[in-house]
A and B are shown apart, each in its own frame.
Chain A
């Protein structure tokens, strides 16, 4: 469990990092928190010829509000986000989701940018960002662009990032007033990747009917899954038990989560339905109490 040989750079600025990426893009890996990459390297399952360690680039670590949106620098540690009062206040779904990410030690090192760039379909944050309609600022020597969640997550461990591009920040729009959100998952042990989970947001109108719903599922497919037809179905409903149950059934229609030693496809579909139902129930309660 020792990694194969690799070259190592630890740039101090974004520019230097982008230079290195432009030069070595195809053969290098960016080292952020290292919580996924380093174990893969130790197993020699990942053998990058070069590591570009961006831990010294302080400018990438921040949490700020910009035009009502939350902007999270790529090198922000999970713990930092977990403990940020403004996040708990305005984007409680993120705070709730982060509580499920690994263990405290992992959250102390793991970064937000690292999590989204790694794009593990069983990870919590990509699903939470998906439910929140987040987008990702990326940059290369060639320029900058912002990619929405729907184009960013391509497949298992695959994103729309070009080899020379670096995730700079995540932008999360504000939740509308009257919204409630919830993150629910189940794993065999606390801190493990979820067997299934759901991140949802609900917005209630004055009359108590659902105006908007977003449902993103964890461990449901090769990338975070937005259950759009279930979302649609909820619109206009009173979010009573039966409409929530029906939406949960709708949410898992057509899903084929991967079977593995911890749970079959069939088990996972049932679990995802239950998680969706529980998340929707929780979020509806929260939305009601916020109005």
Chain B
């Protein structure tokens, strides 16, 4: 991969803007990582979650007699055993009143609504015996009609997942700004199109897993295997257990093999495993296997959009209208309406639209429940909007770059209020210079050369295409983050953060920020995260927020600490703080090293340690923005797509660690390739998942992911935090569906309107 960082600030050694060796890597490269499946406790027993084999059915009861009598079995848990027969798992984001009718309970109680829904938990001395015993459960399922397709879910005679709700629509939102009807009335051209994005998901390499242990003496429970949002999940677990004192619950992160939105949300198992540990008095381990993972962990992305765009002849955008259905699956899980709300609030993208009207209905169907996946709601709408713009360009005979450039939001109009809301936060693009990014990206990626390449003749049956996708991403918030920085008299720095590690390198990044603002060496900084017993509060790691909010909190705490220390030393040394230098030994006067005071002396009155805390609060979102460029060769006979070149330009405000940012972009890009070309959860007419293993759920491998060129720019620092950072985790994914679909449409001269671009679909398009 070729990475270009546009500008490197002069920085402290290993501070902001550098790429030191990752703090996280030592244990990992030495095979000393502890993932949940590696983690054991004495006397542990194993849970197996028994799942519904049907997509929609009712069952009057479960007979556990034979299972309980099977060798090695300690316990069987059904809804009968749960307090209140299982309390609904609440949304933690974007709650919509209507969606509370569709929350999931930890175990199905009389009705199953998707294949894979937990109906019971068997606890045994081994996973093998638990699975054997589970086969002995006697459950008489009586099939109910299924509804799978989002359009079918809103049909008048659709089977209802919740007859008592009277509808399958779990959430609905309409946003409107500008005079939409007038804009359409004065249009020279109106494009109307339907776009479909397939159901796919995060599918981290490491599946979920938990180990819970109850301490009867202190009546407290510890759960290892937490991820993403340990503090938030502690609150939910305590609530579901009916414990008013949250401090009786401790959640601990181990190493995490991939999160991407799905891992770390509160799932049924996050209640069931601790509950089983309390019931049995034994440590209970559960590691999701892949077969479960593909049916049980959040799916995402399934949307059908009906859009209309109004333009003038010269390509000026007048208005955009979208009505879409989001298929959230059988239940509303913790994200509530997050995904469709992000789609509806960010569809306008980087362009000026005098009028916009967006509306979604989020429906329940008999498929695995959904949640977020890297660039949630945006991968989808970037595909929709950028495709629509190319269709308009084709119809008007305009160049796809020109039509975009003409409509970009002006650099002078930031902050730019889009007029939409996301989970109560106004969508105000904090800063940007979209045209400048275009001006930098095109020459950096030799766009002209690619245009020439595109027009050269290719071998028989091969057609070439070039596509671009421009988008605005979002970063943050979850409005607050906590940091505590401690320095001891040996010169060791401990940084405690409420942010979490999902493998993204948060320890490294926070250490770098601390180095830049405290002024002590990187090697002396340790970052502690992901243990609710050690860290009083935290909002975790999601939505590209950890550097933005966690980083800002660490920066402030580090600065406060440095100031307190230097102020104290200044008094001692009778010098101005600005003339002082901090080292692991102590503080000395610049140019006069003999005039110094040791940390031991400075910290002698505070038990050898100095502590500063900061709670950084920011209730607005940051909006990084990027451009994807794809050049493809399409084999019209087989439908194979070969990516000739792919490039991503991304402005992230400020880049703390260029190597990690490039890694985020390339990893995100690989997942985008999956979404654009390969990954799809398919179901048969009865709602049986057909992509039930990695044989049929096609994750991209190194063979399918081409080289990537990356341009990182820092032209629009965020005014929302003192670092100027915007978060960089999702831009690699956000534009892949858009750019590849545009390139393939260009190659075939036929408009792509649905993903993924399977070979069959490509052949069909080529034949049109």
Q: Which A residues contact B (CB, under 8 angstroms)?
A: 1-5, 39, 43-44, 186, 188-193, 195, 260-264, 267, 270-271, 274-275
Q: Please judge, given known A-B contacts A188-B698, A189-B678, whether A195 and B759 are in contact too, CB under 8 Å.
A: yes
Residues of A within 8 A of B690 (CB): 260-261
Residues of chain B lying within 8 A (CB to CB) of residue A267? 639, 759-760, 763-764
Can you name the residue of chain B whose Cβ is closest to the Cβ of A4? B132
- Asked if B604 is at the interface (CB within 8 A of a chain A CB), the reply is no
User: Chain A residues near B758 (CB, 8 Å)?
Assistant: 188, 262-263
State the Cβ distance, B688 to closest chain A Cβ, in Å.
12
Q: With the chains together, A47 CA to B680 CA distance in Å?
A: 29
Q: How far is the CA of A191 from the CA of B639 in the complex (A)?
A: 17
| Residues of chain A lying within 8 A (CB to CB) of residue B696 | 261-262
- Of the candidates A5, A43, A193, A195, the one whose C-beta lies within 8 Å of that of B693 is A43
The verdict on B248 contacting chain A, using a C-beta distance below 8 Å, is no
Q: For A261, what are the chain B residues with a Cβ–Cβ distance below 8 Å? A: 680, 682, 690-691, 696
Is B93 positioned at the interface, with any CB of A under 8 Å from its CB? Answer: no
Main secondary structure of the interface of A (DSSP, over half): loop
Is B700 a contact of A274 with CB atoms below 8 Å?
no
Q: Is the CB–CB distance between B703 and A189 below 8 Å?
A: yes
Residue from A5, A186, A192 within 8 A of B638 (CB atoms): A186
7 nearest CB pairs, A to B = A190-B703, A1-B289, A274-B637, A267-B760, A261-B682, A186-B638, A2-B128
Q: Is B24 an interface residue (CB 8 A)?
A: no
Q: Which chain B residues have a beta carbon within 8 Å of chain A's beta carbons?
A: 127-128, 131-132, 135, 289-292, 637-640, 678, 680, 682, 690-691, 693, 695-696, 698, 700-701, 703-704, 758-760, 763-764
User: Please, which residues of chain B bring their CB within 8 A of the CB of A262?
Assistant: 696, 758, 760
- 15 other A-B residue contacts (CB within 8 Å) besides A189-B701, A267-B759: A1-B289, A1-B290, A1-B292, A2-B131, A189-B678, A189-B698, A189-B703, A189-B704, A191-B703, A192-B698, A261-B691, A261-B696, A267-B764, A271-B639, A271-B763
In the complex, the answer to whether A188 meets B701 with C-beta atoms within 8 Å is: no
| A158, B131: Cα distance in complex, Å | 29
Q: List, in ascending order, chain A residues with CB within 8 A of B132's CB.
A: 4-5
Closest to B636 in A: A274
Which of A260, A261, A274 is most buried by chain B, counting CB atoms within 10 A of its CB?
A261
Q: How far is the CA of A143 from the CA of B764 in the complex (A)?
A: 53
In the assembled complex, the CB of B561 is this many whole angstroms from the nearest CB of chain A, namely 50
Do the beta carbons of B637 and A270 come within 8 Å of each other?
A: yes
Instruction: State whether A274 and B128 are in contact (beta carbons under 8 Å apart), knowing that A191-B701, A267-B760 are contacts in the complex.
Output: no
Residue from B128, B132, B639, B700 with most neighbouring chain A CB atoms (10 Å)? B639
Report yes or no: A43 in contact with B291, Cβ–Cβ below 8 A. yes
Q: Which residues of A contact B678 (CB under 8 A)?
A: 188-189
- Min Cβ gap B197→A in Å is 17
Contacts of B691 in A (CB 8 A): 261
Nearest Cβ distance between residue A165 and chain B, in whole angstroms?
28
Are A264 and B760 also in contact (CB < 8 A) when A2-B127, A190-B703, A191-B703 are?
Answer: yes
- A4: B residues at CB distance < 8 A: 131-132, 135
For B48, the closest partner residue in chain A by CB is A2
Quote the shortest CB–CB distance from B473 to chain A (angstroms).
28
B628 to chain A, nearest CB (A): 22
A189–B638 CB distance below 8 A: no
Q: How far is the CA of A262 from the CA of B758 in the complex (A)?
A: 8
Main SS at interface, chain B: loop
Q: Judging by beta carbons under 8 Å apart, are A188 and B759 in contact?
A: yes
Q: Is B638 within 8 A of A271, CB to CB?
A: yes
- Residue ID in chain B nearest A196 by CB atoms: B638
Contacts of B698 in A (CB 8 A): 188-189, 192
Q: How far is it, in angstroms, between the C-alpha of A261 and the C-alpha of B681 when the chains are bound?
A: 10
Q: Roughly how many angstroms separate A270 CA and B636 CA in the complex, as a whole number?
A: 11
Q: Min CB distance, A281 to chain B, in Å? A: 10
Q: How far is the CA of A195 from the CA of B135 in the complex (A)?
A: 35
Give Cα A101 to B640, complex, Å. 19
A271: nearest chain-B partner, CB-CB: B638
Please give, as numbers and ranges, the residues of chain A lying within 8 Å of B135 by CB-CB distance. 4
What CA separation (Å) do A258 and B696 show in the bound complex?
15
Query: Which residues does chain B contribute within 8 Å of A1, judged by CB atoms?
Result: 289-292
Q: Which residue of A lies closest to B763 (CB)?
A: A267
**A114–B128 Cα gap in the complex (Å)?**
26
Most buried by B among A5, A188, A193: A188
Q: For B292, what are the chain A residues with a Cβ–Cβ distance below 8 Å?
A: 1
Please determine whether A263 and B131 come into contact, CB atoms closer than 8 angstroms.
no
> Please, how many angstroms separate the alpha-carbon atoms of A188 and B758 in the complex?
8
Which A residues are in CB contact (< 8 Å) with B760? Answer: 262-264, 267
B704 near A190 with CB under 8 A, answer: yes
Nearest-neighbour CB distance to chain B for A111, whole angstroms, equals 20
Min distance, Cβ A6 to any Cβ of chain B, angstroms: 11
Contact A270 B290 (CB under 8 A): no
List 29 A–B pairs whose Cβ atoms lie within 8 Å, in order of A's numbering: A1-B290, A2-B127, A3-B128, A5-B132, A39-B693, A43-B291, A43-B693, A186-B638, A186-B640, A188-B678, A188-B698, A189-B678, A189-B700, A189-B704, A190-B701, A190-B703, A192-B698, A261-B691, A262-B696, A262-B758, A263-B758, A263-B759, A267-B759, A267-B760, A267-B763, A270-B637, A270-B763, A271-B638, A271-B759
- B762's nearest neighbour on chain A, judged by CB, is A267
With both beta carbons as reference points, the residue of chain A lying nearest to B703 in the complex is identified as A190
The residue of chain B having its C-beta at the shortest distance from the C-beta of A3 within the complex is B128
Closest Cβ–Cβ distance, residue A202 to chain B (whole Å)? 20
What is the chain A residue whose CB lies nearest that of B290?
A1
Report B-chain residues with C-beta under 8 Å of the C-beta of A260: 690
List chain B residues, Cβ under 8 A from A3.
128
Shortest Cβ gap from A92 to chain B (Å)? 23
Q: Which of B127, B638, B701, B703 is the one whose CB lies under 8 Å from A274?
A: B638
Q: How many whole Å from A59's CB to the nearest CB in chain B?
A: 33
- On chain A, the residues within 8 Å of B131 by CB distance are 2, 4, 44
Shortest CB distance B111–A (Å): 25
Residues of A close to B764: CB separation below 8 A: 267
Shortest CB–CB separation between residue B121 and chain A, in angstroms?
A: 16
The complex places the Cα of A263 from the Cα of B291 at a distance, in Å, of 23
| Chain B residues positioned under 8 Å from A43 (CB to CB) | 291, 693
Cα(A3)–Cα(B129), bound, Å:
10
In the bound complex, residues from chain A placing their C-beta under 8 Å from that of B759 are 186, 188, 195, 263, 267, 271
- Which residues of chain B are near A189, meaning CB under 8 Å? 678, 698, 700-701, 703-704
A70 to B695, CA, bound (A): 32
Measured in the bound complex, the distance between the Cα atoms of B640 and A44 in whole Å is 34
Min Cβ gap A197→B in Å is 11
CA distance A2 to B695 in the complex (A): 18
Residues of A within 8 A of B639 (CB): 267, 271
User: In whole angstroms, what is the CA distance A270 to B131 when docked?
Assistant: 44
**Alpha-carbon separation in the docked complex, A261 to B682 (Å):** 7
